[in-house]
Amino acid sequence: MKNFTRRTFAFSTAAAVAFSLVGCSVTTGNPGSSDTAPREQKDEYRVAYIARAQADSFAAWLADEMQDEAANYEDLKLEVFDGQADDEIENRMIENAIANKFDAIIIQANNADAQIPYIQQAVDAGIVTITTNPRVEGVDGTNSVDANPYDQGAIVAQTALEQIPEGANVVVLNGPAGNFHSTERRNAWEKEFFEKRPDVKIVAEDTANWNKDEALTLMEDWSLANPKIDAIVSVNDNMASGALEAVKGKSGFEGILAYGVDGTPEATLLIQEGKMTATSLQDAGELAQLNMKAVHDLLTGAEEEVNVNVGNPLITKDNAQEYIDLYTEAGLIDN
């Protein structure tokens, strides 16, 4: 691990290219809904980013991207705080940011319901408030930048509709109980796939808490109990790759299909090798770009309310190489 900051910077530049490739849906919303006074113009705006957990690999990646992206704005000064995957800590970080009179607070909720009262406090204090990854609904006056987890799951599920054979046996790997992204991705699979394919049987389903090692152990056991498994349905790539690790080289499982979400470097490699079938990209670089643009627009008065989603491009064997190239350039994959 040499110079990580430089590499992530390179990566975010690369992600910008991806962004232009796939486009995004932007809904900039109802002018005139806000009656707050125009913000005072400043040379430098202080922005607090309260990350869910620096120990969560996607959240850590996003925090890095946020910092790199903020560097592109001369008038933004971003400080990152670590919520340590703990509601109490996350809430305290929000309170601190309010008390320290930041101009804007970007909140990556650990648990939306738990954070709502504190998000409300930030709005009440007249601070520009953005929720991101996930969007938190239910507080007026907030803004949001998010990947839509339902769409992320749906695009993969729709691909699987044609690929998973008649009468197939599948296993399902879920994220932590109650996690918004996990639940929404699983909902997408239910509506877009399982309801349309009553012939497909779920032979085992459990939570592996986003973890590769837990998915590995589950799949080792499931593959013994069920000699015929046609597909792995996982709500993230880590668990999909863990499950694949369990049946690697095992006879009877050579042609197994595997679906994930996130578009991690590992998943793109597995897809390229033909071991994994499809995933959709949740792009931290793009999330960071939209967040910084949103916070800048809101602070300078260019926008009064922003609610946007990043795109969720599908990655399959056909286009895996593009993403591998991007990741390689960013230093996340070795040549």
Dihedral (Cα; 154, 159, 161, 164), 10-degree rounding: -130
In what order do the strands lie in the sheet containing 169-174? 201-207, 169-174, 231-234, 257-259
Q: Tell me if 279 sits within 8 A of 237, measured CB to CB.
A: yes
206 binds another protein (CB under 8 A): yes
- 43-72 residues in contact with another protein (CB under 8 A) are 54-57, 59-61, 64
218 binds another protein (CB under 8 A): yes
Q: Residue 181 or residue 293: which is nearer to another protein going by CB?
A: 181
248 binds another protein (CB under 8 A): yes
- Beta strand spans in the chain (E): 25-28, 45-51, 76-82, 104-107, 128-132, 143-147, 169-174, 201-207, 231-234, 257-259, 279-280, 306-310, 314-315
Give least dist CB 206 to another protein, A. Answer: 5
Question: What are the structure tokens assigned to 85, written together?
Answer: 């995957």
Using CB under 8 A, pick the residue from 131, 179, 238, 309 that binds another protein.
238
220 binds another protein (CB under 8 A): yes
Look-up: residue for tokens 């109990």?
225
Give least dist CB 172 to another protein, A. Answer: 12
Using CB under 8 A, pick the residue from 213, 254, 273, 318 that binds another protein.
213
Q: Tell me if 168 sits within 8 A of 194, measured CB to CB.
A: no
Q: Who's near 131: CB < 8 A, 6+ residues apart?
A: 106, 107, 108, 109, 112, 119, 142, 143, 144, 145, 146
Q: Who's near 151: CB < 8 A, 6+ residues apart?
A: 188, 309, 312
- 166-205 residues in contact with another protein (CB under 8 A) are 177, 204-205
Q: Residue 21 or residue 224: which is nearer to another protein going by CB?
A: 224
Give least dist CB 56 to another protein, A. Answer: 7
Give least dist CB 14 to another protein, A. Answer: 15
Q: Residue 61 or residue 73: which is nearer to another protein going by CB?
A: 61
Q: Residue 31 or residue 249: which is nearer to another protein going by CB?
A: 249
Which letter does DSSP use for residue 251 in this model? T
Give least dist CB 334 to another protein, A. Answer: 6
Q: Residue 23 or residue 249: which is nearer to another protein going by CB?
A: 249
Q: Residue 1 or residue 99: which is nearer to another protein going by CB?
A: 1
222 binds another protein (CB under 8 A): yes
Rounded Cα distance, 256 and 323, in Å: 23
- Total binding residues toward another protein, as defined by CB under 8 A: 39
Element (H, E) at 57: helix 57-70
Q: Residue 56 or residue 69: which is nearer to another protein going by CB?
A: 56
207 binds another protein (CB under 8 A): yes
Give least dist CB 247 to another protein, A. Answer: 12
Give least dist CB 93 to another protein, A. Answer: 17
Residues that bind another protein (CB under 8 A): 1, 4, 8, 54-57, 59-61, 64, 177, 204-207, 211-213, 216-218, 220-222, 224-225, 238, 241-242, 245, 248, 264-266, 269, 332-334
